[in-house]
Amino acid sequence: MFRSDDNYIGGGISYRHGILEDFSAPGINLETYYRFFDSDIFRTGIDLTYYVVDGDFSPSAFEANLNTHFLLEENAQWIYHGLVGVQFMWVDYDWGEVFGSERYYGFGANLGGIVEYYIGDIRIFAEPKVTFYDFDTFRITPQLTLGVRYVF
């Protein structure tokens, strides 16, 4: 059975560095991917991440990704994929009543990879990627997501 093209839903935790200036944050990730084309190596889907930030005058951030995974290699328990896609992100700064708030938003391009270890219908995964985008200045931001997927 060729498992790399299975449909799945999943979620995990994410960490992103350099969203704006020195702002880095952990996030909560939800995702679903589906094999839309009659292909043995491609699947496309969406994932959403909300970044959790504590403290006063802290930004909050949200991203939505539309990515395609493509099979690089598959063996007995491991699957390796490449990742390309687009991202929409927005970041809100709340400076309080005196200074007001600011919002940054924009589109970016994703490039990364995925390593999956599967146990029946469950997959444990790691997804490192970088996003290239332009908010206030051009940025390249690394991100790592670790999580679990259920295959259906």
The per-residue pLDDT for range 80-89, each reduced to its tens digit, is 999 999 999 9
CB 59 within 8 A of CB 129: no
The per-residue pLDDT for 10 is 96
- Tokens 């490039």 belong to which residue? 111
Distance CA(84)–CA(66), nearest Å, equals: 9
The per-residue pLDDT for 66 is 96
Backbone dihedral region for residue 55 (phi beyond 0: left; psi -120 to 50: alpha; all else: beta) = left
Domain residue extents for the chain: 3-151
The per-residue pLDDT for 81 is 93
What's the predicted TM-score (pTM) here? 0.85
Class level of CATH domain 3-151: mainly beta
Distance CA(97)–CA(54), nearest Å, equals: 18
CB 27 within 8 A of CB 47: no
Answer with the residue of higher pLDDT: 147 or 104. Answer: 147
